[in-house]
Structure 1
Amino acid sequence: MRSYLEFEKPVADLEGQIQELRALVDKGEAVDVKDEIEKLEAKAGQALTDLYLKLTAWQKTQVARHPDRPHFVDYVEALIDDFTEMAGDRSFGEDAAIVGGFGRFRGQPVAVIGHEKGADTASRLTHNFGMARPEGYRKAVRLMQTAERFGLPVITLVDTAGAYPGIGAEERGQAEAIARSTDCCLGLGVPNVAVIIGEGGSGGAIAIAATNRVLMLEHAIYSVISPEGAASILWRDSARAQDAATGMKITAQDLLKFKVIDAIVPEPVGGAHRAPAQVIAATGAALDKALGDLAGLGPDELRRVRWDKFLAIGRSL
Structure 2
Amino acid sequence: MTQYLEFEKPLAEIEGKAEELRALARQNEEMDVAEEAAGLDAKAEALLADLYSNLTPWRKCQVARHPDRPHCIDYINALFTDYTALAGDRNFADDHAVMGGLARFNDRPVVVIGHEKGNDTKSRIERNFGMARPEGYRKAIRLMDLADRFGLPVITLVDTPGAYPGKGAEERGQSEAIARSTEKCLQIGVPLVSVVIGEGGSGGAVAFATANKLAMLEHSVYSVISPEGCASILWKDADKMREAAEALRFTAQDLKQLGVTDRIIPEAQGGAHRHPDATMASVSSAIEAMLSELDGKDAATLIADRRNKFLALGQTGLAA
Range of TM-score over shorter length: over 0.9
Corresponding residue for residue 219 of structure 2 = 219
Give 1:201's aligned amino acid: G
Indicate conservation of the 8 Å contact 2:25/2:32, yes or no.
no
Quote the Cα distance in structure 2 between the aligned partners of 1:67 and 1:265: 19
1:226-237 map, 5 Å: 226-237=226-237
Corresponding residue for residue 120 of structure 1 = 120
2:266 is equivalent to residue 266 of structure 1: yes
1:65-80 map, 5 Å: 65-80=65-80
Quote the Cα distance in structure 2 between the aligned partners of 1:73 and 1:199: 15
Give 1:131's aligned amino acid: M
Q: Percent identity?
A: 59
Quote the Cα distance in structure 2 between the aligned partners of 1:179 and 1:262: 23
Corresponding residue for residue 57 of structure 1 = 57
Quote the Cα distance in structure 1 between the aligned partners of 2:225 and 2:186: 21
Quote the Cα distance in structure 2 between the aligned partners of 1:32 and 1:129: 46
Quote the Cα distance in structure 2 between the aligned partners of 1:190 and 1:284: 19
Return the TM-score normalized by structure 1: 0.99
> How far does residue 128 in structure 1 lie from its aligned partner after superposition?
0.3
Deviations along 1:163-205, one digit per CA (max 9) or x if unpaired, are 0000000000000000000000011100000000000000000
Corresponding residue for residue 33 of structure 1 = 33
Corresponding residue for residue 201 of structure 1 = 201
Paired residue secondary structure (2:315): coil
What are structure 2's unaligned runs of at least 5 residues?
none
Quote the Cα distance in structure 2 between the aligned partners of 1:100 and 1:84: 8
Indicate conservation of the 8 Å contact 1:198/1:221, yes or no.
yes
> How far does residue 29 in structure 1 lie from its aligned partner after superposition?
5.9
Paired residue secondary structure (2:209): coil
What are structure 1's unaligned runs of at least 5 residues?
none
Deviations along 1:99-144, one digit per CA (max 9) or x if unpaired, are 0101100000000000000000000010000000000000000000
Quote the Cα distance in structure 1 between the aligned partners of 2:218 and 2:203: 21
Quote the Cα distance in structure 2 between the aligned partners of 1:251 and 1:188: 28
Runs of 4+ in 1 over 3 A off after TM superposition: none
Give 1:218's aligned amino acid: E
> How far does residue 32 in structure 1 lie from its aligned partner after superposition?
2.2
Corresponding residue for residue 152 of structure 1 = 152
Cα RMSD for the two superposed structures: 0.8
Return the TM-score normalized by structure 2: 0.98
More deviation, 29-38/164-173: 29-38
Quote the Cα distance in structure 1 between the aligned partners of 2:243 and 2:30: 48
1:86-165 map, 5 Å: 86-165=86-165
Indicate conservation of the 8 Å contact 1:24/1:30, yes or no.
no
Assess, with a 3 A threshold, how the Cα gap between structure 1 residues 222 and 30 changes in structure 2: closer, same or farther.
farther
Indicate conservation of the 8 Å contact 1:25/1:31, yes or no.
yes
Number of aligned pairs? 317
Give 1:296's aligned amino acid: G
